[in-house]
């Protein structure tokens, strides 16, 4: 199955294993809860989907890559204790608590969560001394003589033997005690994730043109060559940082992430072209309705690769504007919720300032608790940190409740104006983008890509739900439904 289907299956498993009966007992006893074993090529995203499942199911997560462990750290260190049997004292060997089991209890202590996922990566690549321990772990849910706490679901991941020489084959007894899920690379599914993760638009544009280069592993006389989903995302993160620092991304840099010579060379060449298109076509001018006739003339004569690159540049600029609005809206909504609570509490407060600061401190603590539990995404944390800074800046000084609340609202009024401006900018840039697309690409193939990407993006979808765009609705109905859609998509596939 693909990574999206695997994620859904794991979420269903978590829900089923944590379901309780009327007496508060787990419907499926722990001993009958088979560990989930994800098998798939390296760098495909197995670890990431576990993080997403834990966050979405609101359970704790403890992750370990087992190849980093020795038998002592996994099982614990031996210690001697005395036991009395038939009136005689005997020295008995026991073990200190396993580092992995201890981490579960520490996570419960930090977060207050009693249920979670214990994720063990590279489980079939353990050393010879640790192999029996891993088999015992999968079969009995124990490390040494210590059990995984009740309410904790075991998920493991491994690579098939063709991808890793260190793989140890499990026997039938072990396979009969786990739920094996085989995962395959699927660019179409990964693209949805990549949009959410804000993978660099240049890389997404390249992969739209060369989808077969998304995931490749090949062994030849020169050794192993490969490119993985992890490689694309890690390269994207570095590209974002390099752009802010105005550092060029060279072929040598690309080769550090794309370990497939031909693909790396192709990517590096495309990145140079993409930057050139960005400079030549002036996307920001297009989104402001300022397009010269030379731009249209060049596009009419351009090859399909160049035209598609311009479409992705346009999408990138447009989504930046939509993203800016959604960020401002999230900040505004959080601020409104804070003021609503403050208004409720300040009426009965002895000290208006203490009430305000106490509510602010409570919000900060809630964020820290959520972050410790792993439930807080980067964008949410950024929004709340920004809000906390603004709340401190606009904290009221008045002693009377009514005046204090009015003072607290002043910063919020400024924020609402900023929100309205970003909304207008996003709406206007969307109209200008469609103006450009209609003039530059009357044939319609590029419009299919443009509308499809807007449909795939959760950000644009959220924007359209609140502010419907008539031209988007018209084109999506015309191009993405029925026979005409199939014809156009077939034409695009022939060009690959």
- Tens of pLDDT along 154-211? 998 888 776 666 666 777 877 778 889 998 888 888 888 888 888 999 999 999 889 9
State residue 73's pLDDT score: 67
Rounded Cα distance, 326 and 471, in Å: 21
State residue 495's pLDDT score: 45
pLDDT band for position 496 (cuts 50, 70, 90)? very low
State residue 446's pLDDT score: 87
3-state helix, strand, coil in the chain (%, to 5): 65, 10, 25
Give pTM, 2 decimals: 0.78
- Name the residue with higher pLDDT: 31 or 73: 31
Run of H or E residues at 483: helix 483-495
Average pLDDT, the chain: 86
- 117: exposed, middle or buried (C-beta count within 10 Å: 0-12, 13-18, 19+)? buried
**pLDDT(25) > 60:** yes
Classify 342 as helix, strand or coil.
helix
Contact (Cβ atoms closer than 8 angstroms) between residue 20 and residue 194: no
Query: Which of 154, 132, 169, 185 has its CA nearest to residue 6?
Result: 185
């Amino acid at each position: 199955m693909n990574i999206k289907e695997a994620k859904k299956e794991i979420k269903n498993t978590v829900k089923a294993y944590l379901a309780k009966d009327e007496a508060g007992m787990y419907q499926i006893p722990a001993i009958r809860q088979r560990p989930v074993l994800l098998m798939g090529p390296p760098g495909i995203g197995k670890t990431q989907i576990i993080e997403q499942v834990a966050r979405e199911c609101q359970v704790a997560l403890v992750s370990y890559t087992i190849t980093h462990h020795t038998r002592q750290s996994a099982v614990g260190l031996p210690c001697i204790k005395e036991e009395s049997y038939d009136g005689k004292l005997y020295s008995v060997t026991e073990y200190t608590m396993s580092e992995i089991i201890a981490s579960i209890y520490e996570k419960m202590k930090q977060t207050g969560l009693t249920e979670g996922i214990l994720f063990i990566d590279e489980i079939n690549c353990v050393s010879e001394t640790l192999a029996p321990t891993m088999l015992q772990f999968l079969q009995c849910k124990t490390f040494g003589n210590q059990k995984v706490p009740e309410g904790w679901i075991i998920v493991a991941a491994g690579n098939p033997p063709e991808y890793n020489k260190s793989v140890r084959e499990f026997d039938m007894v072990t396979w009969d005690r786990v739920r094996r899920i085989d995962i395959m690379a699927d660019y179409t599914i990964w693209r949805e994730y990549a949009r959410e993760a804000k993978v660099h638009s240049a890389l997404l544009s390249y992969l739209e043109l060369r989808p077969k280069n998304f995931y490749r592993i090949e062994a030849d006389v020169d050794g192993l060559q490969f490119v993985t989903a992890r490689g694309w995302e890690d390269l994207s993160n570095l590209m974002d940082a390099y752009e802010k620092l105005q550092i060029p991304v060279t072929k040598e840099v690309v080769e550090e992430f794309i370990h497939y010579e031909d693909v790396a060379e192709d990517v590096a060449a495309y990145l140079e072209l993409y930057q050139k298109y960005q400079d030549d076509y002036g996307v920001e001018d297009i989104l402001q309705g300022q397009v010269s006739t030379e731009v249209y003339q060049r596009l009419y004569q351009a090859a399909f690769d160049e035209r598609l690159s311009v479409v992705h540049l346009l999408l990138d600029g447009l989504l930046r504007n939509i993203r800016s609005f959604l960020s401002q809206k999230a900040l505004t909504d959080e601020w409104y919720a804070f003021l609503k609570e403050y208004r409720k509490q300040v009426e009965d407060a002895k000290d208006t300032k203490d009430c305000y600061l106490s509510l602010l401190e409570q919000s900060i603590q809630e964020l820290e608790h959520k972050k410790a539990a792993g439930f807080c995404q980067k964008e949410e944390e950024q929004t709340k940190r920004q809000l906390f800074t603004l709340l401190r800046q606009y904290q009221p000084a008045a002693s009377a409740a009514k005046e204090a609340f009015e003072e607290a609202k002043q910063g919020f009024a400024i924020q609402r104006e900023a929100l309205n401006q970003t909304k207008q900018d996003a709406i206007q840039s969307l109209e200008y983008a469609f103006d450009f697309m209609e003039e530059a690409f009357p044939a319609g193939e590029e419009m299919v890509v443009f509308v499809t990407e807007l449909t795939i993006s959760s950000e644009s979808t959220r924007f359209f739900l609140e502010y419907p765009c008539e031209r988007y609705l018209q084109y999506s109905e015309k191009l993405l439904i029925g026979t005409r859609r199939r014809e156009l998509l077939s034409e695009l596939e022939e060009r690959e």
